[in-house]
Structure formats: C-alpha cells, structure tokens
C-alpha cells in the first residue's frame, strides 16, 4: 500500500480510508454523499507553518493572508481569524462572509480586475486594510467614491512582473498579455504610481504581484521579489517616494498525485526573505512589510470528497465508465483544466489499485468526468469513492448545474465532526424562483 498524498489520510483495521482519524465510510453513511470532508487540524497546521515562517525568517514584519477564493465559508473565516492570519477577498460575497464572523478588516486585502462601484463602496465602508487596485479606471473611480464617502482609500497596485510561473519552467515573457494589473515594461505602472500619489483620497502603500498557481519552484518567487524591489527602487529615486509594502501573492504548489513534489511551505519565506534583505541593503531601500497569499496550499491537502458509485459501464476494448453521484457540479476542475487527482475506494482502501477506469459525473455533459484512465481498486455499485486533495477550488467552484443541490462541508477536528456548510435542499434550489 503506497502512502497517500496527504498525511492526514490512513487506513483503519476495517480497511477503510480515514481522514483526521475518522472512518470515511461511516461519515458517508451518516451524512450522505457527495460529501466534502475537511481536516480542520491540518488547515490550522498550514496556517501556522506559513505564519511561523514569516516570524522566523522575516522577523514577523509581514502578514500571511489566506486567499479565500480557494475555499470560503464562515467557518473557514473563523479559522483564519483564530490563527491570526489575514484574508484575501475578491467579491462582495467573500467580504460579506468575512464580515459575518467579525473578521478584523485591517487584515483584509480586496482583489479583482473589475470591482463594481457597489464593491468598492463596500470595501470603503468596511475599512478593509488594502484594496489592490488593478487599473487606472478603477483608481479614478475609487478616488471619487472615497471622496464622496469622506475617507482615504489604502491601496496597493497589482503589477505584472513579467514572470509567468504557471508551469514548471517559468519564463519571463508573455505576461503583458494578462487581464490582471499594470505592466512594468511599458511604463504603465510607473505612470499609475505618479497618478495615485497626486490623489487626495488615495493612500498608496505598496505593490502586489501574483505569478501563478500550483508552483513548485522557489526561484520564481525570489525572481518576482527582485523585479518588484527594482520598481520600488525606481519609485524612490525618481519620485522620492518610499513604498512600504510588498505583496508577493500565492501559488504555492501541493501534492495532488504522486508526481507532484511540493517544497515545505516554510522554505518559500526562508529564500524570499534572504533575497529581499540582500537586495534592500544593496539598493539602499527600507525593507518592506511583506504579504503573502497562500490559498490552495492551506486548504487543498486538508480536503477530500466522498461519492457513492452507481452504474458501471464497460465498453469492450475502449474503456470502463464508473458513474458517481457527483462530478463537475461539485468539482469542475477536471472539466476546466484536466486536473489530475488521486482516487481511493474508501471501503476497500487496503486493497491494491488493480483497475484502470474513467470516473464519470452525473451531469448531462460528456465532459463531466473527474479523471480518465485512473488507477483505483476494482469498484462495484455502492462502493464509497474518495477523491483526494479536493479542499481547494472544489466547494468554492461548485455550481447547481442540472439543479443538483450542493454537498455539505464537514470539518473534522480532534475526531469530532462540525457541519461547516449544510447540504442544500431541493427547497434551496427553487428559493429564488418567482
């Protein structure tokens, strides 16, 4: 039996898969399927390891902000609040969720490439710590709205640092073509800083970049920090303005399958801090306050999804479809990106993975699959199938396509179950219908 991709998973004496010490077959029986199960203790451990790395390597002169788009509900905001980390939001809905647990708003970053007036006003009303401004139109609008509200907006700029680390081999080209942020190469970012500094209702505190997602190398983060510090130096020299904050975004990789090789989360801050300190000394600029924004890496390894196997269709010499009671509605990532996952028959997790099948969802779409040609124990109708490392971008990306109610989210801590999100009912499905 090979090891699982997440360390909170194991097999018990019945041969059942466990998460945080709880029998997943029992959970599926009690709460029904599809079912999201998250290990709260592991989420907290990840929050702490990022926070600790900021303290240990950067003297605590920074803030870890959890990117809530990865998984957002009140319980997750409560956990972030209790762990003393900040929160990234990208919509009124995420901000409202944070407000619902009295999240300290000075630790909130508001992102997005097209915030509405309603959202900008809401961010001002709640006094969020930093609004990450994406473009000049938004800057002008925010200045007007802040004037109307009689306040000053604290902002950072989203910068395209010209580093694309979406793949293993990061390249320094092509990034001008992104819908996010101000370009450095064209002078757009520099002109925008001049404009912000001239505005009465804008307090310009820093610059932000986010170079991609599911990144396994440390080098692109250090490289991005270097590009950003050069810009900070240029602003200091040419505009005599010292930028105080540097936000390096998220994107730290996690293990979805055996092929993924993430580095320990502490290593990012260790390397980046060292580089930032060196460069600041070299350039004669003040060490900026640093923000990082892990999303996936905090929640993905902590979650699994449990399904019940239905019909199995063997097409001779072609493939075998195993149908489950969920799919793209609760996990659109395979349909969107062909994302790879690890599959385990939860009720026979001690057996060998001796079959190769295609996992089919229940929606009326041929593309509603969770994996093709995946290795798993031989499945039969009624088995409980676990998909691993689904804690990020699953519940948060779920939909009601085909009017299928969304599954609930359970949080496991110290072998106790908390319902973080209730299962949707059929009544919920028609709630807004007139």
Residues forming the site for ligand PLP (CB under 6 A): 67, 69-70, 88, 111, 210, 213, 249-252, 293-297
Using alpha carbons, select from 422, 415, 420, 419 the residue that is nearest to residue 41. 415
Output b/e per residue, 377-414; b: 16+ Cβ within 10 A.
Answer: bbbeeebbbbbbbbbbbbbbbbeeeeebebbbbbbbbe
Active site residue 209: no
Active-site option among 72, 230, 363, 364: 364
Query: Looking at beta carbons only, is 44 or 277 nearer to ligand PLP?
Result: 44
Q: Nearer Cβ to ligand PLP, position 88 or 325?
A: 88
Helix axes 188-197, 136-149, angle to 10 degrees: 10
**Minimum distance of ligand PLP from residue 71's CB (angstroms):** 9
Question: Cβ-count burial of 289 within 10 angstroms (0-12 exposed, 13-18 middle, 19+ buried)?
Answer: middle
β-strand partners of 323: 360
Q: Write down the least CB distance from residue 115 to ligand PLP, Å.
A: 13
Which CB sits closer to ligand PLP, 262 or 310?
A: 262
Q: Residue 152 burial (CB < 10 Å; 0-12/13-18/19+)? A: middle
Instruction: Kindly state the smallest distance separating residue 423's Cβ from ligand PLP, in Å.
Output: 26
Looking at the chain, the number of H-run helices and the number of E-run strands are 12, 21
What strands lie across the sheet with 9-11, from one edge to the other? Answer: 9-11, 17-19, 22-23
Judge contact between 245 and 206, C-beta under 8 A.
yes
We find the least distance from the C-beta atom of residue 19 to ligand PLP, in angstroms, to be 21
Q: How many residues does the chain have?
A: 434
Cβ proximity to ligand PLP: between 162 and 251 the closer is 251
- Residue number with CB closer to ligand PLP (295 or 329): 295
CA distance 175 to 162: 5
Query: What token pair was written down for 82?
Result: 């209790």
Place of tokens 């320990």: 264
Determine the Cα angle at 204 with ends 198 and 206, to 5°.
140
Query: Looking at beta carbons, which residue is closest to ligand PLP?
Result: 295
- Closest to ligand PLP by CB, 27 vs 222, is 222
Please, what is the minimum distance in Å from the beta carbon of residue 220 to ligand PLP?
13
CB of 295 to ligand PLP, least distance (A): 3
Q: Which residues are catalytic?
A: 364
């Amino acid at each position: 039996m090979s090891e699982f991709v997440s360390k909170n998973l194991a097999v018990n004496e019945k041969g059942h898969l466990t998460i945080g010490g709880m029998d997943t077959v029992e959970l599926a029986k009690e709460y029904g399927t599809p079912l999201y199960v998250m290990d709260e203790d592991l989420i907290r451990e990840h929050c702490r390891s990022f926070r600790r790395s900021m303290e240990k390597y950067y003297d605590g002169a920074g803030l870890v902000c959890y990117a809530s788009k990865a998984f957002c509900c009140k319980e997750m905001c409560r956990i972030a609040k209790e762990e003393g980390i900040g929160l990234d939001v990208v919509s009124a809905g995420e901000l409202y969720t944070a407000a619902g647990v009295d999240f300290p708003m000075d630790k909130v970053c508001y992102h997005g490439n097209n915030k509405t007036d309603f959202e900008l006003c809401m961010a001002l009303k709640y006094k969020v710590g930093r609004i990450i401004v994406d473009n000049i139109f938004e800057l002008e609008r925010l200045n007007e709205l802040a004037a109307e509200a009689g306040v000053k907006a604290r902002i950072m700029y989203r910068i395209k640092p010209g580093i694309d680390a979406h793949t293993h081999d990061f390249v320094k080209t092509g990034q001008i073509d992104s819908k996010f942020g101000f370009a450095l190469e064209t002078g757009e970012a520099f002109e925008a800083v001049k404009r912000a500094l001239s505005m009465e209702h804008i307090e310009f505190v820093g610059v932000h970049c986010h170079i991609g997602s599911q990144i396994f190398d440390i080098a692109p983060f250090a490289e991005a920090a270097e590009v950003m510090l050069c810009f900070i130096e240029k602003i200091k020299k040419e505009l005599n303005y010292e930028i105080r904050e540097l936000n390096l975004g998220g994107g730290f990789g996690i293990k979805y399958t055996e092929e993924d090789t993430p580095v320990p989360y502490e290593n990012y801050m260790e390397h980046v801090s060292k580089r930032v300190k060196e460069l600041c000394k070299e350039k004669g600029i003040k060490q900026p306050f640093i923000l990082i924004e892990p999303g996936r890496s905090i929640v993905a390894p902590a979650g699994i999804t449990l399904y019940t196997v239905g019909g199995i269709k063997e097409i001779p010499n072609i493939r075998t479809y195993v149908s489950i009671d969920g799919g793209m509605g609760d996990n659109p990532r395979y349909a969107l990106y062909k994302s790879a996952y690890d599959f385990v028959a939860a009720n026979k997790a001690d057996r060998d993975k001796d079959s190769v099948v295609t996992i089919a969802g229940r929606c009326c779409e041929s593309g509603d699959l969770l994996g093709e040609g995946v290795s798993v124990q031989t499945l039969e109708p009624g088995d409980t199938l676990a998909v691993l490392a689904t804690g990020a971008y699953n519940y948060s990306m779920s939909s009601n396509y085909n009017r299928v109610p969304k599954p609930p989210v359970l949080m496991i801590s110290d072998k106790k179950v908390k319902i973080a999100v209730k299962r949707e009912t059929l009544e919920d499905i028609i709630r807004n219908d007139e």
